Amino acid sequence: MITGSNVIDLRSDTVTKPSVGMRAAMANAEVGDDVYSDDPTVNSLEERVAELFGKEAALFTPSGSLANQLAIRSLVSPGDELICETNSHIARAELGAGAVFSGITTRTWLAERGLLNATQVLELARPDSGPYLVSTTAIAIENTHNFGGGSVQPMDQIALLSKQAEELGLYLHLDGARIWNAHVASGIPLSEYGKYFETISVCLSKGLGAPVGSLMISSKERIASSRVWRKRYGAGMRQVGILAAAGHFALDNNIARIAEDHLKAKKLAHACAGAAPTTINPDSVETNIIGLDLSEAKMSAIEFASAARQKGLWVSALGENYVRLVTHMDISDEANDRACFILQELLNGAFMVE
């Protein structure tokens, strides 16, 4: 098995390591006690990110899951309902946190590639359902959609949903863990995304390459309340400016370069489609995530991932027949080319006609 520096790790864009420049920024960060709101680097990062999205305030958190959970508990009372797409991160990958910690009921709609259709969502919503049925309070949208293969949500559908949700008294939350990828791929300003949502979560440790850190973004009132809940959940942090400095460096240096990750992903998708056309439609790859459908292959996703690992390529098996690959800043052009070769070799074997 290939190990060490020869490994091509495409399991996620969370596996990146801080660059020399980012480490220097962290080492030189001015810090204070953030539980007392005394860390100047955290404070400036929160103000900066809130301004990027046209909001009043933001709150630094150690994870995107916590940022999501703080946001939705600020919108949905215990026993009320959040609706989100079936394969969204909030529904599938946060381990039932909304129910466990906040008493939130969840229902979902299923959409191809996770793409938003406002009419479909509103048909599911049931606000003000009275004393016998659960009432919908908020709707969560994920952009880009992780398990949808990094799909970018259509802005016209977001705008339509926002307008009609407001008329119904429903709040919108944006799980924007990879909103930076959506922004780069679509050219839509972050502030444009921001104006349609009451709460937003963004992640600095995915496409932007910071080692740790996400933010919840909203009004001053909601952020003040969520600051209390962050402490209550055990996530009050002290001299955390050393991590916030990495976030500043990421915003300064790593947004525009996300386009390189998108090009690498497109190249991988074409390589896979060339070997096994049923696994992926390259036209569907908009950002840095490639989802391979192995339902017609002679091996399962776990078997495929194991075989790839033996060749030094690490990928994620996220279902019986679904393999995910995610490009990021630590993947060089040479490594991406090697990954293309390995994937084609494996797919040729997996789809070989006997």
**Tens digits of per-residue pLDDT, 291-317?**
999 999 899 999 999 999 999 999 999
pLDDT at 5: 72
In CATH, what is the architecture of 31-253? 3-Layer(aba) Sandwich (3.40)
**pTM metric for this prediction:** 0.95
Write out pLDDT tens, residues 41-100.
Answer: 999 999 999 999 999 999 999 999 999 999 999 999 999 999 999 999 999 999 999 999
Kindly report the three-state secondary structure assignment for every residue of the chain. CCCHHHCEECCCCCCCCCCHHHHHHHHCCCCCCHHHCCCHHHHHHHHHHHHHCCCCEEEEECCHHHHHHHHHHHHCCCCCEEEEECCCHHHHCCCCHHHHHHCCEEEEECCHHHCCCHHHHHHHCCCCCCCCCCCEEEEEEECCECCCCCECCCHHHHHHHHHHHHHHCCEEEEEECCHHHHHHHHCCCHHHHHCCCCEEEEECCCCCCCCCCEEEEECHHHHHHHHHHHHHCCCCCCCCHHHHHHHHHHHHHCCCCHHHHHHHHHHHHHHHHHHCHHHCCHHHCCCCEEEEECCCCCCCHHHHHHHHHHCCEECEECCCCEEEEECCCCCCHHHHHHHHHHHHHHHHHHCCCC
Write out pLDDT tens, residues 222-248.
Answer: 999 999 999 999 999 999 999 999 999
Write out pLDDT tens, residues 163-205.
Answer: 999 999 999 999 999 999 999 999 999 999 999 999 999 999 9
The answer as to CATH 3.90.1150.10 being correct for domain 4-15+257-350 is yes
**In which band, very low, low, confident or very high, does the pLDDT at 354 lie, cut at 50, 70 and 90?**
low
Write out pLDDT tens, residues 124-167.
Answer: 999 999 999 999 999 999 999 999 999 999 999 999 999 999 99
Task: Evaluate if residue 1 carries a pLDDT over 70.
Answer: no
**In which band, very low, low, confident or very high, does the pLDDT at 279 lie, cut at 50, 70 and 90?**
very high
Name the residue ranges covered by the structural domains of the chain. Answer: 4-15+257-350, 31-253
